[in-house]
Amino acid sequence: MFVTVCKDYDEMSRKAAAMVARLVRAKPDAVLGFATGSSPLGLYQELVRMHKEEGLDFSRVTTFNLDEYCGLPPDHPQSYRYFMNENLFNHINVPMERTHVPDGMAEDWRAHCAEYEEMIRQAGGIDLQILGIGSDGHIAFNEPGSSLGSRTRRVFLTRQTIEDNSRFFERKEDVPTSAISMGVATILEARTCVMVVNGTNKAEALAAAVEGPITSMITASALQMHPDTHVFCDEAAASRLTMREYYDWISHQMEADG
């Protein structure tokens, strides 16, 4: 894993967005994987800025989101489809029909999950997957104990995740208890993974993911098996990393090499 510690959230967002932009310029029909949550919001704002001010062109891009709450329709303000439209898709020139978010209202969720995996395959696989991390170390909604070989499926959220995500809902009881989520193995197939992590409440999860053992109890740790994962974090999130000095040194070498 390549770990870049940034001075703050803005720098983290800019550096991660720059990786996305570089790919889209080099491969205009790139397949991008997106995540929701507060961590990638700045990254999305930066992509919108680059689209508006620098003409970054998303017209041939295809996108797949990691997950969606079960039971929330796309027009529900807390649904991940709504989040993506509001924070990114409505502000760039990606054709809406090329954006994919799992359908949390699917009646036959098994068939829907298989179809979602198939659509990713048909699109040629995900070139770059954006990720956040849950405070319990999860990626997408792959909660502790999720198989590292898991594929897109219906998952049940932990009490911790429901608690964490309740800040977006009026009442804790309103937070859905299950979701459709890409699996760990689905995510590991992306050619490049970019994880953005900020804040002290993520410090332990990040240290466990990057420096701890590979374990289904911290599903982000599976990224250690991925050949091209880039972590962009702020100082607060980096505070528990023991190899911090080494990561800084590598980052400087890589910047110098262009």
List residues with catalytic annotation.
67, 136, 138, 143
One of 133, 182, 203, 210 touching ligand GLP (CB under 6 A): 133
Stretch that binds ligand GLP, among 90-98, 112-120, 129-137, 232-240 (CB under 6 A): 129-137
User: Distance between the two ends of the chain, CA-based, in angstroms?
Assistant: 18
Stretch that binds ligand GLP, among 9-17, 36-44, 52-60, 108-116 (CB under 6 A): 36-44
Residue number, 23 or 133, with CB nearest to ligand GLP: 133
Residue number, 9 or 58, with CB nearest to ligand GLP: 9
Any contact of residue 144 with ligand GLP (CB under 6 A)?
no
| Positions of E strands within 94-167 | 99-100, 128-131, 153-156
Q: At 2, give phi and psi (nearest 5°).
A: -100, 120
Question: Are the C-beta atoms of 133 and 197 separated by less than 8 Å?
Answer: yes
Number of residues that bind ligand GLP (CB under 6 A): 13
One of 6, 31, 35, 47 touching ligand GLP (CB under 6 A): 35
Task: Give CA torsion, residues 76, 79, 84, 85, to 10 deg.
Answer: -10
C-alpha 138/C-alpha 133 separation (Å) is 6
C-alpha 47/C-alpha 152 separation (Å) is 27
Q: Which helix (H) or strand (E) holds 238?
A: helix 235-238
For residue 104 the two structure tokens come to: 């949390």
Residue number, 56 or 181, with CB nearest to ligand GLP: 181
One of 132, 137, 176, 183 touching ligand GLP (CB under 6 A): 132
One of 3, 5, 32, 39 touching ligand GLP (CB under 6 A): 39
Any contact of residue 16 with ligand GLP (CB under 6 A)?
no
The label of the residue with tokens 């704002």 reads 45
Binding residues (CB under 6 A) for ligand GLP: these are: 35-39, 66-67, 132-134, 140-141, 161
